[in-house]
Structure 1
Amino acid sequence: MSDERFEIAPEVKAEIDLWVAKYPEGCHQSALIAALLLVQQQNGGWLSNSAIQATANYLNLPEITAFEAATFYDLYHLEPIGKHKISVCTNLSCTLRGSDELLACLRQRLGIGPDETTTDGRYTIREVECLAACAGAPMCQVDDQAYHENLTPEKLNALLDQLDANDAKEAHHASE
């Protein structure tokens, strides 16, 4: 467990404190799930060992408690991920309606499969269980935010084109 020491940013500590305040005195563990998410956001979308340790220490919890949560839940990433995380639902409804075609499309276009990141660090693909949008199957979620339903490979390619265009605009504005 030896990576560089991680410091939780003051603004993240303030957000964690808001979560802690929602629970009775002495129930810091109840805020652990939210705290790990906040620390993961601060750390570029993933939890290093030292980030998990820092979270446990801040909440005054045993480190093993934080590690158990971080390794149990699918919403945490224990390795660096790409700028854009594409989570493709592969539960029954999505599989029956074509999620395999979506994964094949992503593999062809990006050159990676599930749980892999492009060499340029732009995309990570995840296979996930039910995202609770079965009526819109097949579907994916982008960057833990937007749901994209009733997807076809063509619609998925258009979505990737839009992400690429947005990134190009961002890069252009950053260089000005």
Structure 2
Amino acid sequence: MLARRGAAALARRGPRARRLSNFHPLAQHVDRPDNKVETPFDFTPENHIRAEHILGKYPANYRASGIIPLLDLAQRQHGGWLPVAAMDKVAALVGVAPMRVYEVATFYTMFNREPVGKYFIQLCGTTPCMVCGSEAIKKAIEDHLGIQEGETTKDGLFTLREVECLGACANAPMVQMNDDYYECLTPKSVVELLEACKRGEKHEMGRWGSLPMNGQVSCEGPRGKTSLGNGPPAPYAMREDLKGEVDPASVKAHMGY
């Protein structure tokens, strides 16, 4: 019924709306042999324990608060994507109508409703990454893997999708591959990363969970650490050349401290 209503609405809105409906794989559900309401899905015994632990964090009348972490658990179990049967299972666990879960799964781009590759590459194309060369990174990935944005390689290893800001602007351009960030990329280093994945080699992550691919540490600039090399000055110390120009008491009063 929902599918018929959606089709009728698109027909009324004209051809442009129908084109937009296919812009992203989250736009609508299409039955596949491995993705139907009747397709069985259940959590593994280990994940059932995890699911109960997740739900135990919320009061009994707020079990719906566990929808997002339970969807994430189901997606990880199912190879990186959510079949409709998995969403129905989550709905049953938290005690809500399936539509409430569909709404969450189709709103957040962290959830995939179509199969993705073993290595799911999310390429940031927002302004800081763009001006630092994300288009060249995208071309290098597409040329090396023989796919276009939004496609998966025939061997099922890689899926490429361009996304909005992933919050690593200081180390642009970057990609998120599965759970890890790879930053400060060049066309050469991203191809080396892809080849390492093909060989089954995993790059070690840095102390903060991401890996600048140019050898730098975290967000340090190309010259390394250039300030506070000897630690901060003593508490409340003020430079002699600033004394008399700043009245800390007036600043505090102005700020309402």
Normalised to the residue count of structure 1, the TM-score between the two structures is: 0.90
Q: Distance in 1 between matches of 2:42 and 2:70?
A: 13
Q: Which residue of 2 aligns with 1:173?
A: none
- CA RMSD of the aligned region, Å? 1.2
Maintained 8 Å contact 1:52/1:66: yes
Q: Percent identity?
A: 37
Residues 165-176 of structure 1 aligned to structure 2 (within 5 Å):
165-166=199-200
Q: Which residue of 2 aligns with 1:34?
A: 69
Tell me the SS of whatever aligns to 2:185.
Answer: coil
The 3 A distance-change label for structure 1 pair 90 and 18 is same
Matched, 1:149 2:183: yes
Tell me the SS of whatever aligns to 2:200.
Answer: helix
Matched, 1:49 2:45: no
Q: Which residue of 2 aligns with 1:162?
A: 196
Residues 1-176 of structure 1 aligned to structure 2 (within 5 Å):
1-143=36-178, 145-166=179-200
Q: Distance in 2 between matches of 1:24 and 1:52?
A: 21
Q: Using the TM superposition, give the Cα deviation of residue 2 of structure 1 relative to its aligned residue in structure 2, in angstroms.
A: 3.2
Tell me the SS of whatever aligns to 1:26.
Answer: helix
Normalised to the residue count of structure 2, the TM-score between the two structures is: 0.62
Q: Using the TM superposition, give the Cα deviation of residue 90 of structure 1 relative to its aligned residue in structure 2, in angstroms.
A: 0.8
The structure number with the bigger radius of gyration is 2
Larger RCO, structures 1/2 (Cα 8 Å, 6+ apart): 1
Deviations 1:86-138 (A, max 9, x none): 11111110011111111111110111122211111110011111111100000
Q: Distance in 2 between matches of 1:16 and 1:116?
A: 32
Misfit runs of 4+, over 2 Å? none
Q: Using the TM superposition, give the Cα deviation of residue 3 of structure 1 relative to its aligned residue in structure 2, in angstroms.
A: 4.4
Tell me the SS of whatever aligns to 1:27.
Answer: helix
Tell me the SS of whatever aligns to 2:47.
Answer: helix
Q: Tell me the amino acid that sits aligned with residue 12 of structure 1.
A: N
Q: Distance in 1 between matches of 2:100 and 2:94?
A: 11
Q: Tell me the amino acid that sits aligned with residue 140 of structure 2.
A: C
Tell me the SS of whatever aligns to 1:166.
Answer: coil
Q: Distance in 2 between matches of 1:132 and 1:39?
A: 25
Tell me the SS of whatever aligns to 1:22.
Answer: coil
Moved more, 93-102 or 23-32: 23-32
Q: Using the TM superposition, give the Cα deviation of residue 24 of structure 1 relative to its aligned residue in structure 2, in angstroms.
A: 2.1
Q: Tell me the amino acid that sits aligned with residue 36 of structure 1.
A: L
**More helix as a share of residues:** 1
